[in-house]
Chain A
Amino acid sequence: QERLVQSETEVKGPGASLDLSCKASGYTFLDYWIHWVRQAPGHGLEWIGISQPGVDKTIIAEKFQARVSMTTDTSTATAHMQLRNLRPDDTATYFCTRHAIGGNWLFDLWGRGTLVTVSS
């Protein structure tokens, strides 16, 4: 069964850094790009960026370029997203999803999301 498994919750203070994980199973990790998407409470989906497992090629939305890094660990089939200098408006659910390398950007598998709360 193909899955993307994320931790459930994270609580951080303003100014802290966040390291989110997304563990893939049931499919060949190297065959798919990993995307990160977030959703603030009561708001819409927001695309953050994309990383290619194995080569760590990343493309990040301009809004997040100064604070976001994305990496992958092929030994554990896990993608990571780091978000630095957290602010209260980073409070959101962060999803990972995938699309096939060489294919169009259809997101056919999603993690359940990590709820991140930034509060003092």
Chain B
Amino acid sequence: SYELTQPPSVSVSPGQTATITCSNDALPRRYAYWYQQKSDQAPVLVIYEDYKRPSGIPTRFSASSSGAVATLTITGAQVEDEADYYCFSTDGSGLRGVFGGGTQLIVL
């Protein structure tokens, strides 16, 4: 089955740069999306189509995709960025969606 692989957790101190990866061999042919989910809330889109940032998302959130790896970067992470982050893409057929397993970002 099609899977997107993320690290279970990433830990940084406030002001440091957090990097979260998402990997699958099909990513060169598919867009990656990133969602932030805080406790007991619905997910929020923070990056779409590999690197684009929706309006209202702080500029410290950026992303890229190279080869089989998509990367979300939070430059100068804040305490309020502590959340679970999920990558999302479509499978090889492009018809079905898949979420990565999620990465818990700890900022302390």
Contacts and interface: CB of A to CB of B under 8 A. Distances in A.
B30 to A, nearest CB: 9
A110 B43 contact: yes
Given A105-B88, A105-B90, A47 B54 contact: no
Interface residues of B, number: 24
Interface string B23-39: 00000000101010100
Chain B interface, >50% SS class: strand
A18 interface: no
Contacts of B95: 59
B33 A105 contact: yes
Contacts of B42: 95, 110-113
Contact of A61 (B45, B49, B96): B96
Contacts of A111: 42
B45 A105 contact: no
Nearest to B31: A104
Interface in B39-94: 42-45, 48-49, 54, 84, 86, 88, 90
A27 interface: no
A73 interface: no
A97 B99 CA distance: 14
